[in-house]
């Protein structure tokens, strides 16, 4: 999640696209969280799979049950799982965000 925006009808969050596919190929604006790289960072992220995030592809979504509800087959238990970015990943995430912003100029 990049940003939270307060709206009259609720909250909206800006999120970056994430996928478990193509982790071996990262381009400018992307970074990956892999269990083999840092088990602690992977656990803190709350992910079910190794995932790459792409700051070149962001979208605004409402903070509601459609987007942030418990999945039909919950791998993380019966409560929504929200993770956070471990400090060891901050440089990679900041570099990816900077690269994505630079490509827009």
Quote the number of domains for the chain. 1
- Flag whether pLDDT at 45 surpasses 80: yes
What is the CATH classification number for the domain harbouring 66? Answer: 2.30.30
Q: What is the pTM of this model?
A: 0.82
Q: Which token pair is 48?
A: 């079910």
DSSP-derived 3-state class of residue 58? strand
Distance (Å, rounded) from C-alpha 21 to C-alpha 50? 9
Q: Which two tokens stand for residue 36?
A: 């083999």
What digits encode the pLDDT tens for the residues 48-85? 899 999 999 999 999 888 887 777 776 666 666 678 89
Domain of residue 92, residue span: 3-104
Averaged pLDDT of the chain: 87
Structure tokens at 53: 């995030």
């Amino acid at each position: 999640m990049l940003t939270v925006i307060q709206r009259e009808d609720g909250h909206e969050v800006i999120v970056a696209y994430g996928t478990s596919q193509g982790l071996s190929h990262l381009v400018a604006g992307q970074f990956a969280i892999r269990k083999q790289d840092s088990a602690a960072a992977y656990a803190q992220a709350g992910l079910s799979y190794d995932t790459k995030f792409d700051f070149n592809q962001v979208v605004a979504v409402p903070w509601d049950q459609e987007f942030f509800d418990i999945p039909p087959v919950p791998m993380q238990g019966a409560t929504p799982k929200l993770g956070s970015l471990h400090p060891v990943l901050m440089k990679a995430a900041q570099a990816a965000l900077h690269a994505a912003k630079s490509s827009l100029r």
